[in-house]
Amino acid sequence: MILNTAKFGEIEIEEDRIFNFVLPVIGFDELSKFIVLDPNKDTLFKWLQSIEDPSLAFPVISVAALNYDYSIDLSDSVIKTLDIENPDSLLVMNITSIPQDNPRGTTINLLAPLIFNLDNYKAGQIVLSGSGYDISYPMFKKD
């Protein structure tokens, strides 16, 4: 499938790699089809690209790669909605905010992770209420 994106131009994607967001990205309830792109293999950042709105792409990162002390508990309703049978088949990513004029000011939304079930390509964003996690946690320590 060919997708013409605003950020990456025309790209070819495999339709079986499209995630169905059964728990929508907050603020984008009308969009449910996304793909994770890895245009630069030399960085930890990936892109969550909307299939339905080619102008929308979120920079995302797997916090596990950063060795942060970060753990999440999934509710029974989330486990059921995402049809999770094998926890090892989950990918957890977080949306980042990267200031164009100051990349060292990058923040990570730890409060609302994206959960991807790699077994069935269902996904969703959840809010970790009461977790104490921040919506804009600094990725880099201040100098």
What does the block give as tokens for 21? 């967001």
CA-CA distance, 48 to 36, in Å (whole number)? Answer: 5
CB 43 within 8 A of CB 61: no
Q: What's the rounded Cα separation, in Å, for the pair 129 and 117?
A: 21
CA distance 120 to 107: 30
- Per-residue pLDDT tens over the stretch 39-63: 888 888 999 999 999 999 999 999 9
What value does the mean pLDDT take over residues 2-21?
Answer: 94
pTM: 0.93
Nearest to 50 by CA among 28, 67, 75, 22: 28
CATH fold for the domain made of 2-138: BH3618-like (2.30.290)
Domain boundaries, the chain: 2-138
Query: pLDDT tens-digit profile of 60-86?
Result: 999 988 888 899 999 999 999 999 999
Report pLDDT for 143. Answer: 59
Average predicted confidence (pLDDT) for the chain: 94
Residue 20 sits at φ, ψ, to 5 deg, of -100, 110
